[in-house]
Chains A and B, each alone.
Chain A
Amino acid sequence: MAELLKVRGLETQFRTREGVVHAVNGVDFNLVEGETLGIVGESGCGKSVTVMSMLRLIPSPPGKVVAGEALYQGKDLLKMSDEEIRHIRGAQISMIFQDPMTSFNPVLTIGRQVAEPLEIHQGMNRHQAYDRATEMLELVGIPKAKDRLGDYPHQFSGGMRQRVMIAMSLVCNPSVLIADEPTTALDVTIQAQIVELAKDLRDKLGMAMIWITHDLGVIAGLADRMAVMYGGFIIETAPVKSLYGNPSHPYTLGLLNSLPRVDKDINRRLESIEGLPPILMETPHSCPFAPRCTYVKERCLVENPPLLEAGPDHYTACWVDLETRSYR
């Protein structure tokens, strides 16, 4: 399969009053056609900043992508002109955001907002764009879509709004859809519906997806490949089966153990990871997870591990083999 996205050494920092926040610290990943990559990690670990850096949507100042490249079909998104990247946003790579309430413009009609990418990128006139928008809204399951084009965002429920958001992101048939925690703000039942919808549409339209979440349960059935982030680093990446079956980073293991599971002992206590995620004010010289890690050894405190091979196509940034508790 052809490679769509290739991100190398992506680094993003924020200059704040307290100092420089190292939000993303050299992230690498690939995305091939039709593939779904799940990115998981605690709040503040840099998931949003990673994908927004790619599309240059980081508020600047204070944010700045300081290093790396993000190749889309071989062209570096970070070096393009503003005009070039504008033609890619919403047309070839589009995004869905976490909060469907605040991510729509409250004073513009749904029809206008869903049709807008078509007018921008495909040169359609208002009429054609609205027709196509209606089709798309029907596809995501908005009943009586045609009658609802003139409605405003506040007239839709949260779940419906997120469906509309998906329709809006897909009207131009992008080859990559980035979903940044699209279900976090929704009820559990609605969450499942949205995930189903995304799966459905992916199979119908064949786009590749990056699905960000901090819920390992939601992503398991959706992703082909997983990347776990911690403190601005990808600390483990593997095909989804391998990651769930054979987690090789103590943090991933911790995340999995904190999930309620029906297939194992129901009376098992859920485990939590002690401590707080780091906010990095400088490049770390030790493993950023070391202070919270129960497997910690001397080397972890003096050298930040790079991604090491832990299995076929399975990489982990940990010096320690979790089975043997010895160095890899």
Chain B
Amino acid sequence: MSSRKKVLLKVIILGDSGVGKTSLMNQYVNKKFSASYKATIGADFLTKEVLVDDRLVTMQIWDTAGQERFQSLGVAFYRGADCCVLVYDVNNQKSFETLDSWRDEFLIQASPRDADSFPFVVIGNKIDVGDNKRLVPQKRAMAFCQSKGNLPYFETSAKEAINVEQAFEVIARHALAQEEAEEYTGDFGSSTIVDIGADSGDDGCAC
């Protein structure tokens, strides 16, 4: 059957400049953090092969520039995405407030078949910086995620490798579910269906 068919999951990371998109991606794929990543210009992606429930899938993780001015160029790679990761910096109020517009922008550009069920995952990054600098309380972030349809929420540190693996595991899971749902509606009987409902409840942050 189609067991030999490669599953490619396309994941897009969005968020303001400097929130740590590139750092998160590199921490997840390459297991490293470098203080000297440059500001992202244009777009790039990394791939990683992972096992999701015994299925080997390839994640293609897209990292783009965060500055508003470059957003209009995003169209080309938003299309065909299976999951969108919205990142903000817990020490930066503004980066949290723009999450909504990143989400809207994505839905317009990527125009997924069913906008309501399209999987987003929210990440609050840089939790290592220290409590006295933190500007976005966890409660607020969780309230936001709840209001947007119970989006899974993680608090991470790309620098200290906290929660990064866990967040991307959930991202992979949701992306695969999305991919299979699309495949199911599009191309009949080519793949087995994973029960999507089962894992949506308790993915969020463990805190």
- Asked if A and B are interacting partners, one says no
Please list the residues of chain B having a beta carbon within 8 angstroms of any beta carbon in chain A.
none
Please list the residues of chain A having a beta carbon within 8 angstroms of any beta carbon in chain B.
none
